[in-house]
């Protein structure tokens, strides 16, 4: 069984070009099979692509069917096959138009590799490190990574900080045996600061405490807006904290 592969924006571009060329060829009164064969073959590459609108699979079937009929060199499509294929290609064009409207193309303004951000937390943390996270914490990091991809820096930083509060709350309760109970956003960092007021006496897991509190206080103001550097730095600092915490 052939495994499906992810359909990318690069694939969408090449599929669109192939369908467009096929449409142009079929607009002529005479269409040579060799040209159609080459374009259908190109589209067939995407027969196992996920979310490719099934165009690759249909192109592969069309090619397999027509290649049995047009075996002579220099053959051109007869009227019936020409009209049928033209109708099919028109449907492909409509499908590609619908498919492309569901895609959003963006250029992330961050020094973090976009490919890793697309993969989310698993691109930054090992399986062991991921295993200490609660589902909502994984969701928070995933949302932060997604926000960075779309240059939503304030949202990215907020989600990263909200995630780190959850992590530090669980770390504190495990370390001290004390329950913090219900806390509002920001209270965890303040309570940790009260518990460990002197930097030199803080556990290594709290080396970023002052930075995290500063960023939390900064974006708590409605008029504050995070920039690329701030959001990216906070995200990577939270990832670093995930790597250093031991919650099991």
Task: Output the pLDDT for position 247.
Answer: 62
d(CA 65, CA 49): 21
Q: Region 204-231: what's the mean pLDDT?
A: 88
- Measured over all CA atoms, what is the biggest interatomic distance in the chain, rounded to whole angstroms? 86
Q: How confident is the model at residue 248 (pLDDT cuts 50, 70, 90)?
A: low
**Domain limits, CATH 1.20.120, in the chain:** 114-244
Which long-range contacts link 80-87 to residues 24+ away (Cβ below 8 Å)? 82/26, 82/31, 85/26, 85/36, 86/23, 86/26
Multiple choice CATH, 114-244, 1.10.10, 1.10.3470, 3.90.1200, 1.20.120 = 1.20.120
How far does CA 201 lie from the centroid of its chain?
40
Q: Region 46-54: what's the mean pLDDT?
A: 80
Task: Output the pLDDT for position 43.
Answer: 94
DSSP class per residue in 109-161:
-SSS-HHHHHHGGGGTS-HHHHHTS-HHHHHHHHHHHHHHHTT-HHHHHHHHH
Judged on CB neighbours under 10 Å (0-12, 13-18, 19+), 10 is: exposed
Q: Are 185 and 177 in contact, with CB atoms under 8 Å apart?
A: no
pTM (2 d.p.): 0.67
Which three-class secondary structure state does DSSP give residue 233?
A: helix
**b/e map 130-139, b = 16+ CB within 10 Å:** eebbeeebbe
Write the pLDDT tens digit of every residue in 152-199: 999 999 999 999 989 888 888 888 888 877 777 778 888 888 888 888
Residues 6+ apart with CB under 8 A from 112: 148, 232, 235, 236
Task: Output the pLDDT for position 142.
Answer: 96
d(CA 210, CA 3): 48
Q: Region 89-113: what's the mean pLDDT?
A: 88
Q: Region 29-48: what's the mean pLDDT?
A: 92
Nearest-CA neighbor of 228 among 153, 170, 156?
Answer: 153
């Amino acid at each position: 069984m052939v495994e499906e592969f992810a359909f990318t924006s690069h694939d969408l571009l090449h599929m669109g070009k192939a369908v467009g060329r096929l449409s142009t060829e079929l607009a002529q009164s005479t269409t040579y099979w060799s040209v159609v064969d080459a374009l259908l073959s190109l589209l067939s590459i995407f027969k196992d692509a996920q979310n490719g609108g099934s165009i690759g699979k249909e192109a592969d079937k069309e090619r397999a069917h027509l290649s049995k009929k047009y075996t002579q060199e220099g053959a051109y499509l007869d009227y019936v096959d020409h009209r049928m294929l033209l109708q099919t290609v028109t449907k492909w064009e409509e499908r590609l138009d619908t498919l492309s409207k569901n895609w959003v193309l963006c250029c992330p303004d961050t020094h973090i590799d976009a490919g890793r951000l697309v993969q989310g937390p698993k691109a930054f943390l090992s399986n062991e490190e991921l295993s200490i996270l609660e589902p909502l914490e994984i969701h928070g990091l995933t949302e932060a990574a997604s926000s960075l991809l779309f240059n939503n820096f304030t949202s990215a930083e907020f989600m990263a900080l909200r995630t780190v509060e959850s992590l530090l709350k669980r770390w504190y309760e495990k370390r001290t045996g004390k329950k913090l109970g219900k806390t509002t956003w920001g209270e965890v960092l303040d309570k940790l600061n009260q518990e460990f007021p002197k930097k030199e006496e803080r556990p290594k897991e709290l080396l970023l405490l002052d930075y995290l509190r500063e960023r939390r206080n900064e974006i708590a103001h409605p008029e504050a807006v995070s920039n690329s550097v701030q959001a990216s730095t906070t995200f990577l600092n939270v990832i670093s904290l995930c790597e250093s915490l031991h919650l099991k």
